[in-house]
């Protein structure tokens, strides 16, 4: 493979961090110039925040620079050493009839055949490993961004639910005070509602603190000040079952950049073994020169060849043993990472299935039941046949259920992002959403 085929396209590494992921994630197809503007001026979606992070994350920029540096090592590795030019003069001959006598030498070192190709191959595979390491970091950043979006959206939903519940409690407090003033309710009804209202205010403080923490985490991912403002998160998309685990496992084994990086390191180790074997053979030194110190003109021009004598075999055997051990280490690392990757993929797949089922359960049963429970408790209380405590209990159940539903939506989005990461594809890994799921509620 020629060196220029691994030039990485410097524009891709420096100016288009986003471009590497677009082929596998069409939803992230934003230009560099527009990605930040769109993300900053519109509600954040998982894809928009991921695109923003790919453009702004300093860790990615650092990894891209390392990959670029590795690419620049390819051509020098496959090149000959610089030729040597030597010059000498005999000062005491300056006054001789022939004038100053001079000597000129030129030499070029040429390694044993195949050595330069092995050096270049090792550098090329190391550069490829650096590029695949960059790809793996991109997948990680995308997963982090989508998980951060999930938390940001959860906070928005939780705050909305709390504000709505506060309004309901304010109405309950007013109703209880009115009924108490009319002698149709107990004072403890008013106190129960006020206690619940105060507890809700305390929960709101925790949510606001969590919102500050999540905002700081997102801004750190975007290389921004911790308190920089962020747009609100867009609603969660309807969840859908993931693709079969066997399909995702096959996809991961075929294209995951972490495995590709280890494959490249194995190829680099094999090239270093070739280099160590070449070290048992001599290098050549070709030379040519012109020496005026010879009286006879036909003796002044010379050509020659010299070789080094690789007599110390022990150090070369040690170097060969080291490179073979490195190859074994890389091969075992690949086997270990492949097993760990499949385990991570299996765990993430099971978590997505569980989260998707939880969202469906909340949507289909838990939320309607909690809403009906509160409606019935309110109707009984207003009719005078129900206790105010039942209303408070139903309100607490509805609040907990709504927060649990929002948490399930966030967990699904976060776990799906992890599944995408371990599958090696930042594109969607779930099937078409089932119509029965409905929209976010």
**For the segment 128-175, what is each residue's pLDDT rounded down to a tens digit?**
999 999 999 999 999 999 999 999 999 999 999 999 988 888 888 887
pLDDT attached to residue 381:
81
pLDDT of residue 426: 64
Residues 228-249 pLDDT 10s: 999 999 999 889 899 999 999 9
Instruction: Provide the whole-model pTM.
Output: 0.81
Show Cβ contacts of residue 108 under 8 Å, excluding neighbours closer than 6 positions: 80, 81, 83, 84, 285, 286, 287
The predicted pLDDT at position 79 comes to 94
Enumerate domains of the chain plus CATH numbers: 3-437 (1.20.1600.10)
List strands edge to edge, sheet with 284-291.
84-90, 101-110, 284-291, 301-307
pLDDT of residue 402: 95
| pLDDT for residue 440 | 64
> Looking at residue 155, what is its pLDDT?
95
What's the burial of 252, exposed, middle or buried (CB within 10 Å: 0-12/13-18/19+)?
Answer: buried
Residue pair 169/85 in contact by the 8 Å Cβ criterion? no
Residues 6+ apart with CB under 8 A from 427: 24, 25, 26, 27, 420
pLDDT of residue 41: 66
Closest CA to 151 of 99, 66, 221: 221
The segments of the chain whose pLDDT lies below 70 read: 1-41, 184-185, 426-441
The per-residue pLDDT for range 397-409, each reduced to its tens digit, is 999 999 999 999 9
């Amino acid at each position: 493979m020629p060196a220029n085929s691994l030039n990485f396209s410097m524009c891709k590494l420096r100016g288009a961090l986003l471009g590497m992921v677009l082929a596998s994630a069409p939803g992230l197809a934003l230009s560099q110039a527009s990605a930040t503007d769109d993300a900053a001026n519109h509600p954040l979606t998982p894809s928009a925040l991921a695109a923003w992070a790919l453009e702004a994350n300093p860790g990615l920029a650092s990894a891209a620079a390392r990959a670029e540096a590795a690419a620049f090592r390819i051509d020098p590795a496959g090149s000959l050493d610089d030729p040597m030019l030597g010059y000498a003069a005999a000062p005491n001959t300056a006054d001789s009839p022939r004038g100053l006598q001079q000597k000129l030498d030129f030499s070029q070192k040429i390694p044993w055949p195949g050595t330069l190709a092995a050096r270049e191959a090792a550098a090329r595979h190391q550069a490829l490993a650096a590029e695949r390491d960059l790809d793996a970091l991109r997948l990680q950043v995308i997963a982090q961004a989508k998980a951060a979006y999930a938390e940001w959206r959860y906070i928005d939903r939780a705050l909305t639910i709390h504000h709505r519940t506060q309004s309901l409690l304010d109405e309950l407090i007013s109703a209880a005070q009115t009924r108490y003033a009319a002698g149709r309710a107990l004072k403890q009804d008013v106190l129960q509602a006020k206690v619940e209202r105060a507890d809700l205010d305390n929960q709101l403080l925790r949510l606001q603190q969590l919102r500050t923490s999540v905002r700081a985490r997102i801004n750190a991912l975007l290389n921004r000040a911790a308190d920089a403002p962020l747009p609100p998160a867009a609603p969660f998309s309807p969840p859908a079952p993931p693709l079969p685990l066997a399909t995702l496992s096959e996809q991961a084994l075929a294209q995951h950049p972490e495995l590709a990086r280890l494959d490249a390191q194995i190829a680099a180790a094999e090239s270093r073994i070739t280099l160590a074997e070449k070290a048992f053979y001599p290098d050549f030194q070709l030379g040519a020169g012109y020496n005026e110190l010879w009286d006879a003109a036909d003796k002044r021009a010379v050509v020659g060849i010299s070789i080094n004598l690789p007599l110390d075999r022990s150090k070369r055997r040690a170097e060969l043993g080291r490179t073979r051990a490195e190859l074994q280490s890389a091969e075992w690392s690949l086997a270990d990472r492949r097993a760990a990757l499949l385990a991570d993929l299996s765990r993430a797949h099971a978590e997505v299935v569980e989260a998707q089922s939880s969202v469906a359960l909340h949507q289909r049963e838990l939320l309607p039941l909690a809403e009906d429970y509160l409606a019935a408790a309110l109707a009984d209380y207003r009719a005078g046949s129900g206790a105010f405590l039942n209303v408070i209990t139903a309100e607490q159940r509805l609040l907990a259920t709504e927060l649990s539903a929002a948490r399930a939506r966030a967990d699904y989005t976060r776990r799906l992002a992890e599944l995408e990461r371990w599958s090696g594809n930042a594109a969607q890994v779930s099937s078409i959403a089932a119509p029965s799921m409905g929209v976010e509620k």
